[in-house]
Amino acid sequence: MMRSMFAAISGLKNHQTFMDVVGNNIANVNTTGFKQSRVTFQDILSQTLRGASGPQGGRGGVNGEQIGLGVLVSGIDTIQSQGTLQSTGKSTDMAIQGDGYFVMSDGKQSMYTRDGAFDLALDGTLASASSGPLVHIMWC
């Protein structure tokens, strides 16, 4: 009885993680440059009740028998596939087709984005207004 309860609890806990990822994907469906995520699961352990055996004496073999002891999140992956490109009519907007990111710097740290909605800064350089204060683009 306890074994089945632990398996059910692990399933519920990991299903909550799955729902969190799905909720995040839905919440960001209109976010420019957002890349969706997916959850991958794996078995925790299985208890073998009976081992498998091969055919003997003209009779077929017997399949093994196992009881699963729960599930585990093995990873949350970001799907890096190409999104749809849309024309904005704004000459400072850019898009990346294929792999890669825009590298932005505030002079102290570098940040990466696929959001190509840029404006001209006061000094005439390209900058991103979506990240709060203007962040200058580094070309690489």
Q: How do residues 102-127 score in pLDDT, each as one tens digit?
A: 888 777 888 888 888 888 877 777 77
What b/e readout covers 24-58, taking b as 16+ CB neighbours within 10 angstroms? Answer: eeeeeeeebbbebbebeeeeeeeeeeeeeeeeeee
Q: Where is pLDDT greater, at 81 or 73?
A: 73
Q: Considering Cα of 119, then 123, then 125, then 130, what sign does the dihedral take?
A: negative
Provide the pLDDT for residue 135.
Answer: 56
| pLDDT band at residue 140 using 50, 70 and 90 as cut-offs | very low
User: Does the structure show a pLDDT above 70 at 134?
Assistant: no
User: Does the structure show a pLDDT above 90 at 8?
Assistant: no
**pLDDT tens profile 29-73:** 888 778 899 999 988 877 788 888 888 888 888 888 888 788 889
Provide the pLDDT for residue 138.
Answer: 53
User: Does the structure show a pLDDT above 60 at 136?
Assistant: no
pTM for the complete prediction?
A: 0.64
Beta strand 110-113 with 102-105: parallel, antiparallel or unpaired? antiparallel
| pLDDT band at residue 129 using 50, 70 and 90 as cut-offs | low
Q: Where is pLDDT greater, at 104 or 11?
A: 11
